[in-house]
Amino acid sequence: MTAEPEPLRFDVVTLFAPMFEAVTGNGVSGRALARQLWQLHCWNPRDFAMDAYKTIDDRPYGGGPGMVMMAEPLREAILAAAAARRGQALPEAPVICLSPQGRAIDHAMIAGLVSSRGATLICGRYEGIDQRLLDRYVDEEWSLGDFVVSGGELPAMMIVDAAVRLLPGALNDSLSAQQDSFVDGLLDCPHYTRPPVFDGVEVPPVLLSGHHARIAAWRREQSLRVTARRRPDLIQRLRDGQQLSRQDLKILDESAPGKS
């Protein structure tokens, strides 16, 4: 008999657990949760505060604007999440803090979370988090990009959703996740549906041909062209890794600026 896979579990340290109802009660992630394909557990650092006032932030040493999240409540929340995972006989998972200072998230990082069966996600607030907590209890810092949002909850929800859709059975069509942008290092190709003519523009004839090999070749070509135009850095990465076929290189050469 094949052993049942260990569940994908996310532990989220957050002051605003109700925000996560967006992923637990809606869409692909909500349906996957109902099917028990993954789990979400929220940990409020106020529950681990060291004083009667449930204080979780304080003024920064050295002065400056804003408040800084204190290390002790966050540490206890992280340790509680780790203990809960052990109680479920799950492997140790990475502790990731969502931060503008973090590494930009890509598909490979999300797929790694599925392999590790989840993560503990730290949702910072205010001006930041005590650096000693980050140095001692956080494995990595991740970022959505070069901009700032009010807290880590929205990035954490996006990470959860991106990981859940990679789970077998999460999507109605198992091929959907395999054909998403970035899975093979390229952006996705254009998509079309009915009507066959919209505002005088017809659907590309090859998509109506029923010839699966030609359709696959067309989609690959379109992905290469779109990626070369919008994200040349991704094409260069594939070139450096020698992940492009001779046909891919021919298509890119023919579509290069200045080529007729």
Summarised one tens digit per residue, pLDDT across range 202-246 is 999 999 999 999 999 999 999 999 999 999 999 999 999 999 999
Place of tokens 């992923």: 23
115 in the same domain as 209 = no
Place of tokens 């005590």: 130
Burial class (CB in 10 A: 0-12, 13-18, 19+), 75: middle
Q: Which of 76, 141, 180, 184 is catalytic?
A: 180
223 in the same domain as 143 = no
Rounded-to-integer distance, Cα 230 and Cα 123, Å:
31
Tell me what the mean pLDDT of segment 173-191 comes to.
73
pLDDT grade for 180, boundaries at 50, 70 and 90: low
At which of 133, 164, 195 does a domain end?
164
Indicate if the pLDDT at residue 175 is higher than 60. no
In a domain, 172, yes or no: no
186 in the same domain as 80 = no
127 has catalytic annotation:
yes
Beta-bridge partner residues of 95: 120
In a domain, 3, yes or no: no
186 in the same domain as 148 = no
Q: Which of 127, 141, 184, 188 is catalytic?
A: 127
In a domain, 64, yes or no: yes
In a domain, 242, yes or no: yes
Tell me what the mean pLDDT of segment 121-147 comes to.
96
180 has catalytic annotation:
yes
Peptide bond into 195 cis (omega under 30): yes
DSSP string, 66-94: S-EE-HHHHHHHHHHHHHHHHHTTPPP--
pLDDT mean across residues, the chain: 93
21 has catalytic annotation:
no
Domain range for 207: 180-254
Looking at this protein, which amino acid is placed at residue 70?
Answer: M
* 12: CATH: 3.40.1280.10
Number of domains in the chain: 2
Q: Which of 72, 76, 100, 231 is catalytic?
A: 100
86 has catalytic annotation:
no
